[in-house]
Amino acid sequence: MLKGQADQGKQMEMAKQIIKLNEVTPTGMKSYLERGRKLLEESMKGVNPFDKYKPEVPTGVFLKPGEAQMEEFENEGLKELMNTGFVLIAGGLGERLGYSGIKIDLPVCTIDQDYCYLKYYAQYALACQERALPYVKEEDRASFYVPFCIMVSDDTHDRTIALLEKFSYFGLGKDRVDIIKQENVPALIDNQSKIAVDAEKFKIITKPHGHGDVHNLLFDSGVAKKWKDMGKKWMVFIQDTNALALKAIPSIIGVSAKNNW
């Protein structure tokens, strides 16, 4: 489709982009496109991949705000904050919200437009650090901190770093924030898995691969091992714009700790 529409230099740049995408796309471009074509075709036909499974209500604990049980588990969770780290998944843009920037720079509420999600999450981690201190051995308190990791993408990396630097890492400390970057993969424009191309720039259009990358990235980057070596037992994953979920985190950790999950 683009043959003859660009000089040799641009064609070489696209060839390099294709080689790079083939390296960073899980299982390679060929398998990625075949998999995409199959999934899109099944979706169009209404195929349910879970048909052979029988749904069951999982074993768990129902926590209700205001009841004694939730407060009991919260107290258990507070003891575990010293063993906890936070992972913020922030590889996507706010395009669906009509926002051209990174989602973690969006305001948490309309009352204070400067109070962004990243600031909120950083302050939450620092509050957990403060609440955890009484449970930390006195000789370890000076070096103790609650680690914070951010998963970014090609779309969000530079702007996330700029936001952190603008506000001095919101008090977290640059050396205490781990940044892991997921790679972008080709965007598809139809059910035949046709690759989206920017004809003017002679480049393949790419998008972040999805939140599922975070587990591999934590392992491959060494962050998971680093935190384990620090004695951390719990990883709390935060979606880029879900402020209210944090209210129940100590109780949830308490449930997990008490049940040895």
pLDDT tens digits, 119-174: 999 999 999 999 999 999 999 999 999 999 999 988 899 999 999 999 999 999 99
CA-nearest of 99, 134, 103 to 118 is 103
Residue 66 lies in a domain: no
Residue 178 lies in a domain: yes
Residue 65 lies in a domain: no
- For residue 106, give every residue at least 6 positions away whose Cβ sits within 8 Å of its Cβ, in sequence order, or none: 94, 97, 99, 116, 117, 241
Residue 226 lies in a domain: yes
Residue 4 lies in a domain: no
The model's pLDDT over 71-92, given as tens digits with 9 standing for 90+, comes to 999 999 999 999 999 999 998 7
Top-confidence residue, 198 or 2: 198
Count of domains for the chain: 1
Place of tokens 């994953």: 237
Q: What is the CATH number of the domain that holds 103?
A: 3.90.550.10
| Residue 238 in this model has a pLDDT that exceeds 70 | yes
Residue 3 lies in a domain: no
| Residue 31 in this model has a pLDDT that exceeds 60 | yes
Q: Which domain holds residue 223?
A: 79-258
The model's pLDDT over 153-167, given as tens digits with 9 standing for 90+, comes to 888 999 999 999 999
H helices of the chain, in order, are: 8-24, 28-45, 68-80, 117-132, 157-166, 213-220, 223-229, 249-258
Residue 39 lies in a domain: no
Q: What is the mean pLDDT of residues 173-201?
A: 91
| Residue 5 in this model has a pLDDT that exceeds 70 | no
| Residue 1 in this model has a pLDDT that exceeds 50 | no
**Angle formed at CA 183 by CA 219 and CA 230, multiple of 5 degrees:** 25
Return the structure tokens found at 143: 């070096």
Residue 29 lies in a domain: no
What per-residue confidence (pLDDT) applies to 2? 53
Mean pLDDT, the chain, integer: 90
